[in-house]
Structure 1
Amino acid sequence: MIEKLLTMSFSYRNCMIIWVCLPLLSSGNAVFGGSIVKFLPGFDGELPFKLETGYITVAESELFYYFIESELSPESDPVLVWYSGGPGCSTLNGIIYEIGPLAFNITAYQGGTPILEYYPYSWTKTSNILFIDAPVGTGFSYAINSSAYPSSDTKSAEQTYEFLLKWFTDHPQFLANQLFIGADSYSGISAPIVVKHIIDGADAGVFPRLNLKGYILGCPRTVETINENSKVTYCHRMGLISDPLFEQARESCNGSYYEVEADESECYINLQKIDKLIHDINKNHILEPKCTWASPDQDGESDIRSLKEESENFILSPPRIPDFWCHNFNYALSYIWANDISVQEALNVRVGTIKDWKRCDKKLNYTMNVYSVLDVHRYLSSKGLQVLVYNGDHDLVVPNIGTQDWIKLLNNMTVDFEWRPWFADGQIAGYNIKYSRRGSGYRLTYATVLGAGHVPQEYKRRECFDMYDRWIHYYPI
């Protein structure tokens, strides 16, 4: 009977008989669309925080989510919606490696189920976080039929917005909480579009009305041309290319290094020289080893096709040589853990829907159809939002130079305070600058994270918590 009631149409959810059934559902640790998870394989004892997992149906797709209540005051703390980049990277990556309250014990791993430990400097210390596996095909999200798998920047943003409307309808107790949208890396494209959908929906009287207050973007893809052009300038500033070569490239390319045709022009030749110099640099963090290659190419070209096709997934097992370390080793345990049947059962993943969980699915059926969201940011700058944008200063995927360049192109911005350091544990953790737009209430804080790569909270987890904790409560970073 309860199952039949739960499948009734959306418009009947307020009927008397549904509300009568709610106490029965709660007593079984179930809620609309999800269930409470108290124990996880690899974690010793009951989880010290409240975790709910479940699915929301959106356009013949089942989008999987993890909701972790604030460990301080869930009734009044903000709700942060978070999804990862890629596109196609599971938000489990965010929970375990970046901003969540769990972490793998990597050094003690001896085989079997990986050990999970409680991580104290989680963003859930100060906010509720709704983690979404989006777009469909990411993490544990799946399509009801194959025709629903193809996605794109615009489609993903629309579906995420629809997901939020349905999730908050099922969780009305959080509608009054302040809402922030958060994303990193490639999702810097779709996240601002989601924010625009929320604002436009509120203006059009769409129910429920979401209490949107702002958004947060880590190393965000924003304008393709600006991002790509900034890489040459960044390489020069970091000493990866010489002064003469940089000047030659700048003059011959007229300052534009993106999509230069392969020919014999001086610009193309100079860019080839630059590419060769940084070929064996780890773009995610320029100071870390590029471990996807067994050894640096001597001729600048590898003939190992499999490494080219799946370089990020090449090393998927912990190191056998104690002194040899690669950042990809950290990801190995997530594949072992998330593909364990007992883990999927504990998370209430539907049996048989995901046969091979991937941290980042490189074969996702996805069309990148938005090349710039600068105009979206300009539109949002008139809406009185609070915004935090940040970069790792050792990231060559989305260099901090490019992010600062597009921020300067926003309309009618004034500087509230100039470039200055921010601190964590008494040490400089990065630098920041704050902008505002007169008359709109719009505030944008831009911050760098010292020594961090792509994405910053994975490299400087404690420092990024301090940054977020101050910003989300409207304190200066």
Structure 2
Amino acid sequence: MDLRRMFILPTWSCLHFLFCISIISFFFCSNLAVSFKTVDTLPGYSGTLPFKLETGYIGVGEYEDVQLFYYFVESEKNVEKDPLVVWLTGGPGCSALSGLVYEIGPFTFDLASFDGTLPSINLNPYSWTKVASIIFIDSPVGTGFSYAKSPKNYPSTDTTWTNHLYMFLQKWLSDHPQFQKNRLYIAGDSYAGKIVPMLVSEIKKGIENGSEPRMLIQGYIIGNPVTTYNHDTNWRIPYAHKLAIISDEYYKFAESSCNGEYVNPDPSNFKCLYALQPIQQCIEGIFLGNVLEPTCKFTAPNPNTGKEDQSDETTTSTTEIDIDIFLRSEEEPWCRNHNYIPSYFWANDPSVQEALGIENGTISDWKRCNKSLAFESDVPSAFEYHQLFSNSTPFQVLVYSGDHDMDIPYLGTLSWIHSLNLTGDCNWKPWFVNGQIAGYYERHKRSENQFYLTFATVKGAGHTAPEYKPKECLALVDRWLSSYPL
């Protein structure tokens, strides 16, 4: 008998067994690598939170090097039956906290009492969590509290952002199986208007390929959405004409000279360039986010010094915001960007980061919108996704626009919607909240595949409509999700 074989075979078997266990453990851990916590209290709020808040990280990408941070708030009405909504804030690079606090989440800051210290928290009676459970995701990587373990993984594109979100959602639903039976909607505004349909497309492919967990995707919601940036912004001049910001004479001259191209006119078309000069003078002082509000320069305050960080976000402006002047509001006209200052003090506070479960050393300075994000757009237009869905998928789609938004004017959004060549199901008519006109809407459909698209304006709202008209936007989304007439 060969004694060597007696001992070699068992030894090989043991090694093989241990190797297999290691491989199984690796894949098991990588598929379920979710770190989250339930947050019962938050600095700035007295007592226990009256809603269920969960925060955490989910690793995505190669070796889970990218860690996406999220906030999850359960529906305050019926968790089992209400839909699950994934919310994407725009930018790219604007934190999910911005969408949560300033748009559709269950709490906001007490702006009236803010004095440059840790802001107090107020509850938002118009939170969309009144009718849905919502996941707010800091994405792409480098946004908010999301980070990469290696510097090489910070650069991202539309495509990688979308892929990371799909991986995130697969893992989150695997770890929260009780929500796999809820209706799923992907939602977002501004630049996320491109990413939302891209993510929906990935989910659709996964369903067709039999991927698990199976997602009950029903449709999507996009607000003041970027679709094709050049197309969207080209409508600013026709929009400005409709609002009497530029005269009939200026507009007609530009219309006849520029062949409909105002953003990137032919540099050899001197007649067009000449026509655009007085128009630019008319609109350069307008705050694009809301044409009725003042323009200002926003440089985020450093919460450690109270001074402003000049490297941060700025908008077209005529006035510098100083934190001391902000606290003496009678000395400086109010500007919407004042509202964002408390978020820097709150999110950078160590007690807040501890309560949220932020990993130590992963970020040095939280920003509401990270303008230094290593991001490149590699998908010029989202229109093809809308076109594909409208021709093949039984989706419900809601598109809304603040009608005072000149950044992404509703005229451009309506233009691409009409080019889908859907059947008109409901012509332009008003919708109401508390007996008052809240906006106007129209509904389109393709009966062959039960595709329905509702477009609504929100009267008086600017870019990111829920920030301006929270009560009206909650009524809008509540009716739409419940299949009630607007």
Q: Same fold (TM over 0.5)?
A: yes
CA–CA distance in 1 between the matches of 2:419 and 2:266? 27
1:106 aligns with 2:111: yes
Structure 2 partner of 1:322: 330
Structure 1 partner of 2:57: 55
Match of 1:157 among 157, 162, 180: 162
Match of 1:406 among 394, 403, 416: 416
Task: Tell me if the contact between 2:313 and 2:371 (Cα under 8 Å) persists in the aligned partners.
Answer: no
Task: Tell me if the contact between 1:68 and 1:128 (Cα under 8 Å) persists in the aligned partners.
Answer: yes
Match of 1:396 among 385, 401, 406: 406
1:454 aligns with 2:466: no
1:269 to 1:307, Cα distance in 2 relative to 1, 3 A: farther
CA–CA distance in 1 between the matches of 2:243 and 2:316? 24
Post-superposition Cα deviations, 1:366-421, rounded to whole Å, max 9, x if no partner, equal: 0012211111101111210000000000001100000000001114x111111000
Match of 2:289 among 284, 287, 291: 284
Task: Tell me if the contact between 2:116 and 2:327 (Cα under 8 Å) persists in the aligned partners.
Answer: no
Please, which moves more after superposition, 130-139 or 266-275?
Answer: 266-275
Structure 2 residues not aligned, in runs of 5+: 1-21, 300-309
1:309 to 1:102, Cα distance in 2 relative to 1, 3 A: closer
Structure 1 partner of 2:89: 84
Task: Tell me if the contact between 1:226 and 1:405 (Cα under 8 Å) persists in the aligned partners.
Answer: no
Structure 1 partner of 2:303: none
CA–CA distance in 2 between the matches of 1:108 and 1:228? 38
Task: Tell me if the contact between 1:226 and 1:402 (Cα under 8 Å) persists in the aligned partners.
Answer: yes
CA–CA distance in 2 between the matches of 1:316 and 1:43? 27
CA–CA distance in 1 between the matches of 2:273 and 2:211? 51
Task: Tell me if the contact between 1:51 and 1:67 (Cα under 8 Å) persists in the aligned partners.
Answer: yes
Q: TM-score, normalised by structure 1?
A: 0.90
Match of 2:37 among 35, 51, 54: 35
Structure 1 partner of 2:481: 472
CA–CA distance in 2 between the matches of 1:143 and 1:246? 48
Task: Tell me if the contact between 1:53 and 1:66 (Cα under 8 Å) persists in the aligned partners.
Answer: yes
Structure 2 partner of 1:11: 28
Post-superposition Cα deviations, 1:407-452, rounded to whole Å, max 9, x if no partner, equal: 01114x1111110000111100000000111211111000000000
Q: Which runs of structure 2 are paired with 1:229-240 in the superposition (5 Å)?
A: 229-240=234-245
CA–CA distance in 2 between the matches of 1:372 and 1:121? 32
Give the match's secondary structure for 1:439: helix
Given residue 145 of structure 2, which amino acid in structure 1 is its aligned partner? Answer: F
1:246 aligns with 2:251: yes
1:264 to 1:419, Cα distance in 2 relative to 1, 3 A: closer
Task: Tell me if the contact between 2:115 and 2:327 (Cα under 8 Å) persists in the aligned partners.
Answer: no
The alpha carbon displacement at 1:112 in A equals 1.9
CA–CA distance in 1 between the matches of 2:183 and 2:223? 20
1:268 to 1:293, Cα distance in 2 relative to 1, 3 A: farther
Give the match's secondary structure for 1:158: helix
Structure 2 partner of 1:75: 80
Structure 2 partner of 1:445: 454
Number of residue pairs the alignment of both structures matches: 445
Post-superposition Cα deviations, 1:72-120, rounded to whole Å, max 9, x if no partner, equal: 1111110000010000000101111100110111011223210001111
Please, which moves more after superposition, 368-377 or 43-52?
Answer: 368-377
1:311 to 1:121, Cα distance in 2 relative to 1, 3 A: closer
Task: Tell me if the contact between 1:34 and 1:54 (Cα under 8 Å) persists in the aligned partners.
Answer: yes
CA–CA distance in 2 between the matches of 1:53 and 1:350? 12
Give the match's secondary structure for 1:379: helix
The alpha carbon displacement at 1:316 in A equals 6.8
Structure 1 residues not aligned, in runs of 5+: 19-30, 295-305
CA–CA distance in 2 between the matches of 1:270 and 1:47? 57
The alpha carbon displacement at 1:10 in A equals 4.4
Structure 1 partner of 2:12: none
Give the match's secondary structure for 2:43: coil
1:384 aligns with 2:394: yes
Post-superposition Cα deviations, 1:310-358, rounded to whole Å, max 9, x if no partner, equal: 3479637334232621100000000010000100000001011111000
Q: TM-score, normalised by structure 2?
A: 0.88
Give the match's secondary structure for 1:87: coil
CA–CA distance in 1 between the matches of 2:41 and 2:178? 24
Task: Tell me if the contact between 1:293 and 1:307 (Cα under 8 Å) persists in the aligned partners.
Answer: no
Which structure has greater helix proportion?
2
1:272 to 1:128, Cα distance in 2 relative to 1, 3 A: same
Identity %: 46
Given residue 102 of structure 1, which amino acid in structure 2 is its aligned partner? Answer: F
Task: Tell me if the contact between 1:312 and 1:328 (Cα under 8 Å) persists in the aligned partners.
Answer: no
1:434 aligns with 2:443: yes
Structure 2 partner of 1:183: 188
Please, which moves more after superposition, 225-234 or 420-429?
Answer: 225-234
Task: Tell me if the contact between 1:316 and 1:329 (Cα under 8 Å) persists in the aligned partners.
Answer: no
Moved over 3 A (4+): 7-14, 261-264, 306-319
Task: Tell me if the contact between 1:319 and 1:325 (Cα under 8 Å) persists in the aligned partners.
Answer: no
Give the match's secondary structure for 1:435: strand
Give the match's secondary structure for 2:358: coil
CA–CA distance in 2 between the matches of 1:286 and 1:467? 23
Given residue 167 of structure 2, which amino acid in structure 1 is its aligned partner? Answer: E
The alpha carbon displacement at 1:178 in A equals 0.2
1:39 to 1:394, Cα distance in 2 relative to 1, 3 A: same
Given residue 11 of structure 1, which amino acid in structure 2 is its aligned partner? Answer: F
Structure 2 partner of 1:339: 348
The alpha carbon displacement at 1:262 in A equals 4.2
CA–CA distance in 1 between the matches of 2:27 and 2:122? 39
Match of 1:310 among 307, 314, 331: 314
Give the match's secondary structure for 1:322: helix
CA–CA distance in 1 between the matches of 2:26 and 2:187? 30
1:170 to 1:315, Cα distance in 2 relative to 1, 3 A: farther
Structure 2 partner of 1:211: 216
Given residue 450 of structure 1, which amino acid in structure 2 is its aligned partner? Answer: K
Give the match's secondary structure for 1:189: helix
Match of 1:119 among 124, 132, 150: 124
Give the match's secondary structure for 2:191: helix
Match of 1:271 among 265, 272, 276: 276
1:225 aligns with 2:230: yes
CA–CA distance in 1 between the matches of 2:196 and 2:165? 9
Task: Tell me if the contact between 1:390 and 1:446 (Cα under 8 Å) persists in the aligned partners.
Answer: yes
Give the match's secondary structure for 1:206: coil
CA–CA distance in 2 between the matches of 1:184 and 1:327? 18
CA–CA distance in 2 between the matches of 1:416 and 1:84? 30
